[in-house]
Amino acid sequence: MSERLATFRGAVRCTRAGDVPGLTLTGMTAEAPEEPTMLAFSRASGEFPATLQDPVVERLADGRWRIASASTEWLLPAGPAHLHRDVAARFYQAIPPRPAPWVKRAFWRVVLALAASRAGLATLRRLRR
């Protein structure tokens, strides 16, 4: 019996490291198609290509991980896997940024207008002292 962790769609970048995490898969998943996803394995062995096409990651009954892509399959030793999704877009839809106060907007408008001319730059220099 296996438990599916992620079903990636399209090209997935594989990054190897000598230490932890040993292998990181980065791409888009079927579970959350609008959120970039990273899946990091602490224990990884073997050689992996730079990219995989449509890989499926499953946890096997004995605790090992299976990464299957097209006709190739890799088995990773049992160990932790860390799944990260970039939820920034959904976060900022739910909590929009507050507009800048009118005083701050007016201040920067004046400063930028002064910085557009030599006389204005000289004025800004004098005000800084």
41-83 tens-digit pLDDT: 887 767 788 888 999 999 998 989 999 998 788 888 888 888 9
Kindly state the tokens that stand for 97: 């940024």
Question: Which two structure tokens, joined as six digits, stand for 4?
Answer: 């599916």
Mode of pairing for the β-strands spanning 65-69 and 72-76: antiparallel
Phi-psi region of 10 (alpha: psi -120 to 50; beta: other; left: phi over 0): left
Q: What is the mean pLDDT of residues 1-18?
A: 86
Residue 39 amino acid letter = L
Contact status, residue 13 vs residue 51, Cβ threshold 8 Å: yes
CB atoms within 10 A of CB 3: 9
For 112: left if phi > 0, alpha if psi spans -120 to 50, otherwise beta; the answer is alpha
- pLDDT, tens digit (0-9, with 9 covering 90-100), for 26-37: 999 888 888 899
Q: Reply yes or no on whether the pLDDT at 123 is more than 80.
A: yes
- Residue ranges in the chain assigned as alpha helix (H): 88-94, 102-115, 118-128
pTM for this entry: 0.66
Position 23 confidence tier, pLDDT thresholds 50, 70, 90: confident
Mean predicted confidence (pLDDT) in 107-125: 94
84: CB partners within 8 A, 6+ apart: 37, 38, 39, 40
52 in Cβ contact with 46 (< 8 Å)? no
